[in-house]
Amino acid sequence: MIDSFVVPLLKILVVLNATLVGVTYMILLERKVIAWAQSRLGPMRVGPYGVLQPVADALKLMIKEDITPVRADKWVFTAAPIIAMVPALIVYAVIPFGPEVSLFGRPVTLYVTDVNVGLLYIVSVASVGVYGIILAGWSSNSKYPLLASLRASAQLISYEVAVTLTLVSVILVAGSLSMVSIVRAQESGHVWFAFLQPMAFVIFFIGGLAETNRAPFDMPEAEQELTGGFHTEYSGMRFALFFLAEYANMIVVSSVATTLFLGGWLRPFPNVAFLSFLGIIPSWAWFLLKSFGFLYVFIWIRATLPRYRYDQLMRLGWKVLIPLAIINLVVTAIVKVMVH
Amino acid sequence: MGEAVAFYTIAAFILGFAVLVVTARETVHSVLFLVLDFLFVAALYVLLGAEFLAVIQILVYAGGIVVLYLFVVMLVNLKRPPEAYQDPQRHGRVGLLLALAVLAELVAIAMWTSGTPTTPMPAAQAFPVTGNTEVVGWLLYTRYLIPFEIASVLLLVAMIGAIVLAKREL
């Protein structure tokens, strides 16, 4: 009873809350890092160094007036932010934050579940998230959001191909679709897959930037051209849901990249004995540290690089990343067969 | 017992959404009901213990193909359908014929399979591999190799056809 019901529920509760808190603080981190990159201070008023800014933001968004345009399609307009948010959250079910640990004298795994098609589950759930953006643009019944949502969905579909192909080459190396087994494969293989699959790593990272609509691929919200993007007509909490979904997706991409390429919860050099003092930092902390590294790079890139033009973005996706991913996959398969 | 309840609930949802797909006034709503339908079909696969199929169902149909449908529906103005499609009588007749053909096919399959004892699927036999994904892959490349290859050639032909149609001069 406790093992089959209470523990999973508690885990889901912890993961969901941690994600939402993480997302709100990601927004603060982004504002701070970009401010520092531009020689500003960023939010400083609410709490010491502005650490309570997310609380103030959340309060403000919740008490704001919620406007539905008269000509909008009400049902779809209401459903779109939810459709964007839910996939971004349920992906965390299969992300392993750590191995089995003992907590209060009871073995507890630091992941909600380990399904044998974990990686495919993430890809498929993420592919459903596109609907939130498309439907938001369409149901607003307004031309700029529609244009933005068409751009966004074209971009997401194009980059999804490249990203999924890189995942296949990782699956080939690991020999499993389960997220936990992929980390274990890196442990027993004594190497992070970032070194075995450098090409896949780079393509995954670029594709991840594009799939989360981050700079330099933040085409769907190019303010100068689209007056804000697919969520132009949204206000209050519904707008906040889109915002949260975007940051939750960033955390997903970072977590997946950490699991697949940087050894997940493993400490650096898990096979080198004299570095075992690194083990005093718990496994989940290593995981969070690596994911945080990715998130920081995301923000850093946004502060550094200008936005791509739309045709350049499509050319990069279809003519560079997808062929490279296919070549990488074929080479990986050939090497795998030859080694066997 | 629990499995039967789950099956009938899911089946009811699948049929209900299928009805909504064809009765919805707004084409975009139809497409959305189709997505929900596909998600429940995926749930059916999970119930059968075929997680791999379920996930692929969501990835390919709900997340891929229907997004393209949505694209087409959003880009093409469907408010005023062309004259040829405005004759409800003709629509009804063709629809009725198609529905009857499908019904006949289903009845034939049901009669044909209910008499013969169900042949034990290779699941009962020993596989050289274990696991959902592995078994699907193994079957595709051994027992169902020829259908699999034919399906891929068909898809290739469709793709080339689409390119030829879209680009008049190559």
pLDDT tens digit string along A66-125? 888 888 888 888 888 898 889 888 888 888 887 877 777 777 777 888 888 888 888 888
Measured distance CA(A307)–CA(A214) in Å, rounded: 9
Please report the beta strands in A66-175, taking only residues with DSSP state E, as ranges in sequence order.
100-103, 106-109
Identify whether the C-beta of residue A22 lies closer than 8 Å to the C-beta of residue A251: yes
Name the minimum distance, in Å, from the CA of A156 to any CA of chain B. Answer: 11
> What does R_g of chain B's alpha carbons equal in angstroms?
20
Confidence of residue B118 (pLDDT cuts 50, 70, 90): low
Position with higher pLDDT, A106 vs B115: A106
Q: What average pLDDT score do residues A2-25 get?
A: 85
What confidence score (pLDDT) does residue A10 get? 85
Q: Which two tokens stand for residue B113?
A: 């399979």
Tokens 């293989």 locate to A189
Predicted confidence at residue B79, as pLDDT, reads 63
CA end-to-end span of chain A, whole Å?
Answer: 44
What b-and-e string marks burial along A40-79, b requiring 16 or more CB atoms within 10 Å of the CB? eebbeeeeeebeebbeebbeebeeeeeebbeebbeebbeb
| pLDDT of res. A334 | 92
Whether the per-residue pLDDT at A145 is higher than 60: the answer is yes
Q: What mean pLDDT is predicted for residues A297-313? A: 86
**Two tokens at A311?**
């045709």
User: Position of tokens 């209050």?
Assistant: A236
Q: Report the percent of chain A where pLDDT is more than 90.
A: 6
Give the gap in angstroms from C-alpha B96 to the nearest C-alpha of chain A: 32
Assigned token pair, B145? 């190799």
What confidence tier does B91 reach under pLDDT thresholds 50, 70, 90? Answer: confident
Q: Name the residue among B154, B59, B159 with its Cα closest to residue A167.
A: B59
Residue B125 has pLDDT above 60, yes or no: no
Give the minimum alpha-carbon distance from A66 to chain B in angstroms, rounded to a whole number.
23
The shortest CB-CB distance from B63 to any of A73, A124, A146 is to A124
Contact A124 B62 (CB under 8 A): yes
Query: Which pLDDT does position B88 carry in this prediction?
Result: 63
Is the confidence at residue B32, as pLDDT, over 60? yes
- pLDDT of res. A223: 67
Q: Which two tokens stand for residue B7?
A: 């099956």
Q: Which two tokens stand for residue B47?
A: 């119930």
Report percent pLDDT > 90 for chain B. 32
Neighbour-count burial of A261, counting CB atoms closer than 10 A to its CB (0-12 exposed, 13-18 middle, 19+ buried): buried
Domain that holds residue A75: 2-339
ipTM over 0.90: no
Residues in chain A: 340
What is the spatial distance between Cα B161 and Cα B170, in angstroms, rounded to a whole number? 12
Q: Is the pLDDT of residue A140 over 60?
A: yes
Q: Quick check: A333 pLDDT over 80?
A: yes
A278 DSSP 8-state letter: G
Q: Tell me the domain boundaries of chain B.
A: 1-80, 84-115, 126-170
Alpha carbon distance A204, A255 (integer Å):
12
pLDDT of residue B119: 56
Best of B74, B77, B134 to mutate (most A CBs within 10 Å, chain A): B74
| Pairwise CA distance, residues A87 & A98, whole Å | 22
Number of domains in chain A: 1
Q: Which of A73, A117, A150 lies closest to B52 in CB terms?
A: A117
Max mean pLDDT range (A66-80, B9-23, B52-66): B9-23
Q: Backbone phi, then psi, for A284, in 5-degree steps?
A: -65, -30
With b for 16 or more beta-carbon neighbours within 10 A and e for fewer, the A179-194 pattern comes to bbbbbbbbeeeeebbb
Q: What is the pLDDT of residues A244-260, one digit of tens each?
A: 888 888 899 999 999 88
Query: Is residue B154 scored above 60 in pLDDT?
Result: yes
| Residues on chain A touching B70 (C-beta within 8 angstroms) | 131, 134, 138, 153
pLDDT reading at B136 higher than 90? no
Beta carbons of B130 and B124 less than 8 angstroms apart? no
Q: Helices marked H in B24-87 — which ranges?
A: 27-47, 51-56, 66-75
Tell me which range, A165-174, A179-188, A266-275, is most confidently predicted by mean pLDDT: A165-174
CATH of the domain spanning B1-80: 1.20.120.1200
Q: What pLDDT shows up at residue B126? A: 63
* Residues paired with A109 in a beta bridge: A100
| Region of poorest pLDDT, from A217-231, A280-294, B78-92 | B78-92
Residue where the block lists tokens 């609930």 = B9
* pLDDT higher than threshold 90 for residue B116: no
